[in-house]
Amino acid sequence: MDTSRTPPTGTGYSRRSQDIEPFHVMSLLARAQALEQAGHDVIHLEIGEPDFTTAAPIVRAGQAALAAGHTRYTAARGLPALREAIAGLYQDRYQVHIDPERILVTPGGSGALLLASSLLVDPGKHWLLADPGYPCNRHFLRLVEGAAQLVPVGPETAYQLTPELVARQWNADSVGALVASPANPTGTVLSAAQLAALSQSLKARGGHLVVDEIYHGLTYGMDAASVLQVDDEAFVLNSFSKYYGMTGWRLGWLVAPPQAVRELEKLAQNLYISASSIAQHAALACFEPDAIAIFEQRRAAFRERRDYLLPALRALGFRIEVEPEGAFYLYADVSAFTDDAQAFCAHFLETEHVAFTPGLDFGHHRANAHVRLAYTQDVPRLEEAVRRIARGLETWVR
């Protein structure tokens, strides 16, 4: 009898549920909130959520949808008007024609990842993922009885997979790779040439390329290339949460090759029926000029924050060897101070009431030597955070 997938005696729970690790930052957030309830002023740099509320044009569109009674299921692939608007985005931003029929609107970017992993990964098969990387990616693969083949990466490759790493790590169980550009937790971006090289490397091995473009729009001094500019057969995950600021609305999308759409639609029908109808109607406002103007103002604010916090942390001794070009994170090497990033983060939360995330959440490769800080607070709050961190370093005992 194969007991490798048998739940521990007495629980009756699935092995997959126990193999999926908790999102450690959530326990850190809970402690930070408890400190706030006790009267402390906590500076939150731990959660990857923009501090801006949903832009007013989107809120008004959501309210209008409610008033108009748009509260029923939509088609599983989403509102035709929204899919057409997303297709227009690819035309305007990337000069790429995407048939709206190839777009599936999903419950958040997570819904898109669930569809892609369900379609492309059989039990026991692997995707190559960069380590460090967003933790839920590997957990979704475990959920569908596949696995993440974590590839250690560092500043020498801007924390990204390369064709050379794909060639070195590929094995009989590998079926694809998932990369993120801009990436969480590092904020690094893959160029069109790098995406094309990865695509060619995977196609030569019969593998699929899946690209997380959830932080597109939030880049600084440059625009991120979409993989669809160089590979029309890639799968693209995106979301309305980051650039568009609709985190709580839970809305994203997946762009897929034409031949995959019918299978993905079938999965969507069974897994969640449809994304929120109200959120979809609200999201139509994201593509209007007045909303875009707000998003661009916010992008400029994020760049100002990055440009303050990056040199300020470096001056304190945090090693950030690759300047992030996108997202709103700094992934810092703290090995000059500690070999226990969890204890390091706990120290600053408990003594200085500054919350940031240990590297443990993002993989295994040198995780205890890294922390992630999200610049999702305005510059005056970041200045106060730096003052507190400087003070906390004086009391930190390695």
Residue 397: the pLDDT is 80
Counting other chains too, the contacts that 122-127 makes at CB distance below 8 Å and 24 or more residues apart are 122/146, 122/175, 124/173, 125/173, 125/174, 125/175, 126/171, 126/173, 126/174, 126/175, 127/174, 127/175, 127/176, 127/177, 127/178, 127/210
pTM given for the model: 0.94
Structural contact between residues 369 and 28, judged by C-beta atoms closer than 8 angstroms: no
Residue 9: the pLDDT is 52
Distance, CA of 237 to CA of 214 (rounded, Å): 7
Residue with tokens 């326990």: 27
Look at strands 252-255 and 174-180 and give their pairing. unpaired
Cis status, amide bond into 135, omega within 30 of 0: no
Measuring CA to CA, which residue among 240, 194, 214, 192 is closest to residue 326?
214
Structural contact between residues 347 and 396, judged by C-beta atoms closer than 8 angstroms: yes
Q: How many CB atoms lie within 10 A of CB 123?
A: 8
Distance, CA of 19 to CA of 146 (rounded, Å): 12
* Interval 91-145: pLDDT, tens: 999 999 999 999 999 999 999 999 999 999 999 999 999 999 999 999 999 999 9
Residue 22: the pLDDT is 81
Distance, CA of 326 to CA of 35 (rounded, Å): 31
Structural contact between residues 280 and 251, judged by C-beta atoms closer than 8 angstroms: yes
CA distances from 215 to 38, 121, 187, 226 (A): 34, 24, 9, 11
Residue 24: the pLDDT is 78
Averaged pLDDT in 10-residue chunks for the chain of 398 residues: 47 89 85 96 93 96 98 97 98 98 98 98 97 94 96 98 98 98 98 98 98 98 96 98 97 98 98 98 98 98 98 98 97 97 96 96 96 97 98 91
Structural contact between residues 367 and 132, judged by C-beta atoms closer than 8 angstroms: yes
Q: How many CB atoms lie within 10 A of CB 196?
A: 17
Alpha carbon 235 to its chain's center: 15
DSSP three-state, residue 340: coil
